[in-house]
Structure 1
Amino acid sequence: MLIAFSVTPLGVGENVGEIVAEAVRVVRASGLPNRTDAMFTTVEGDWDEAMAVVKEAVDAVAARAPRVSLVLKADLRPGVTDALNAKVETIERYLSP
């Protein structure tokens, strides 16, 4: 499965990058395939391991903020691996001349 999620600390002011980096650090340390862009971090794994990473990332932010917002989108497709790259590669093929 792929889980794209965004964790936002609330009640800590406008500059939240340092706290958000704690969530990304958790994802990267997990060993699961992942990618971070300007809006979301996406992690690939089975349900239990991917959701555990999301929880740990939220917990890392909650340790530094009185309130946390979580936005999550999941693509559950049993038997598919490397979807993190394959989905993008498919689109790029259609965009190639």
Structure 2
Amino acid sequence: MALFAFSVAPMTGSESVSAAVAEAVRIVRESGLPNRTTSMFTEIEGEWDEVMPVIKAATDAVAAGGHRTSLVVKADIRPGAAPGQIDSKISRVEEKLATGDEPHARQ
């Protein structure tokens, strides 16, 4: 199991890349894998062999415009982790914040 965060965009002179990014996000959503999109990255969860083809397809869709393409990928590879880490990882942090459970004392 792994969590991947990636950002893909054409390297063009235009200010807006939203149409190309929207196509990449559509491909991720149609994959059926757990995912979310923020202003900076799209996150997707699954096994390495099922996620990487989705990232490649999203990148290929953006590159179809014929421009150079920028791709940034970050992976949190979690052997033996149960599915659902895309949400539970955030929940654990929020729980710590809500209970005031801080690992380091403030100075």
Which band: TM-score by shorter chain? over 0.9
Question: 2:86 corresponds to which letter in structure 1?
Answer: L
Q: Give percent identity, aligned residues only.
A: 55
- For residues 19 and 29 of structure 2, the distance between their equivalents in structure 1, rounded to whole angstroms, comes to 15
8 Å Cα contact 1:10-1:65 kept in structure 2: no
Q: Which has the larger radius of gyration?
A: 2
User: Gapped runs of 5+ residues in structure 1?
Assistant: none
**Take 2:29 and 2:59, find their aligned partners in 1: how far apart are those partners?**
14
Task: Could you tell me which runs of 5 or more consecutive residues in structure 2 were left unpaired when the two chains were aligned.
Answer: 100-107
Q: Could you tell me how far apart the structure 1 residues matched to 2:41 and 2:23 are?
A: 14
Provide, for residues 14-41 of structure 1, a one-character-per-residue CA deviation record: whole Å limited to 9, x for no partner: 1111111000000000000001001000
Give, as a single letter, the amino acid of the residue that structure 2 aligns with 1:84: I
Q: Aligned-residue CA RMSD in angstroms?
A: 1.0
Q: CA deviation at 1:65?
A: 4.0
CA distance in 2: counterparts of 1:35 and 1:45, whole angstroms: 13
Normalised by the size of structure 2, how large is the TM-score? Answer: 0.87
- The 1:23/1:12 distance shift into structure 2, 3 A limit, reads farther
